[in-house]
Amino acid sequence: MEKQSPSVTDPHRRNTAEDTTANSGSQPLSRSTVRPAQTPRATRTGDHHSRPGALPPAPGRPPHVLVLVVLLSVLAVVTEQVVVNGPLLGVDRWIREQLLSLIVSNPYPRLNLYSRWWTHFGSPTIAVPALSVATLAAAAYTRSWKPLLTATLAGIALFGAVIPAKILIGRVGPEGWVVGPGDLGWYPSGHTSTASVCLGTAAWLLATAFALRPWLRRLLYAATAALSVSVGFCLMWSDFHWFLDVLAGWCLSGSILWCLIRWTPRAHRNQ
């Protein structure tokens, strides 16, 4: 006896509308209702060609943890070499000799004056007020206390790491000035760290609070990074710091900024 096919009204029969894909011109039905699914699986944009149903990465994702690992590793190696007076310090002497030779043959003596003036962007008298203005602007625009918390944590992390390290390590600067007990040394570079942390935090607060367009946000970050790098270079050009002092300042600042972006709350304007 032949098995009869299920009738049209059979409740166990699969609804053919559920098998409809995006290419057929109609949206598939959800399993819990007869209404069309709000986000059909077939129309989702995936982040991988072999997984078309995967959701794309969330915008504004913090830097990968590998960046933090590299920064802390470089900082640890450089610090160890400075403490034990290791062979890596030869890089400092070589770079200083090359810069001094360029300064002697420089046909534009005003560059030396401009270089010293440019290092003031890493001074607390300029970098801290810049961060304060950006923080107040972000807090007023978003009507939130979160920018104030972020700026406070940035300042605590900056001065809580740089000042004790300078006192404990007590490295002598390029010009050989004596560092007395309890005095601040030259490692890591305080101006480099201050410029990078304060200006970097200010740029991030403005970009997130005002919801800047992606191209404008990238331009702001690139300008801030260029300013921080130029401060470190001008410190070496002016013979204020060794190269490893500046490199440690960049690594320390990058680690602080990574943690701020990763763990501090973001403020958005309340509509």
Distance, in Å, from the CA atom of 52 to the CA atom of 46, rounded to the nearest integer, reads: 5
What's the maximum distance between 2 C-alpha atoms anywhere in the chain?
Answer: 106
**CA-based R_g, the chain, Å:** 28
Task: Specify the pLDDT at position 35.
Answer: 53
Quick one: average pLDDT of 57-76? 79
Instruction: Write the pLDDT tens digit of every residue in 80-130.
Output: 999 999 999 999 999 999 999 999 888 888 899 999 999 999 999 999 999
Q: Which two tokens stand for residue 211?
A: 């919801």
Instruction: Write the pLDDT tens digit of every residue in 193-219.
Output: 999 999 999 999 999 999 999 999 999
Placement of tokens 């959701």 in the chain: 55
Whether pLDDT at 244 is above 90: yes
- The residue length of the chain stands at 271
Q: Which two tokens stand for residue 142?
A: 């978003």
Higher-pLDDT residue of 181 and 71 is 71
Distance, in Å, from the CA atom of 23 to the CA atom of 36, rounded to the nearest integer, reads: 15
3-state secondary structure of 190: helix
Domain range annotation of the chain: 66-104+111-263
Provide the mean pLDDT of the chain: 84
Q: Which two tokens stand for residue 71?
A: 């920064």
What H or E segment, with its residue span, contains residue 217?
helix 214-237
List the one residue out of 242, 90, 231, 94 whose CA is nearest residue 175: 242
Q: Which two tokens stand for residue 172?
A: 């002598």
CB 78 within 8 A of CB 251: yes
Distance, in Å, from the CA atom of 102 to the CA atom of 87, rounded to the nearest integer, reads: 24
Torsion region of 245: left, alpha or beta (phi above 0 gives left; psi -120 to 50 gives alpha):
alpha
- DSSP letter assigned to residue 51: B
CB atoms inside a 10 Å sphere around CB 129: 11
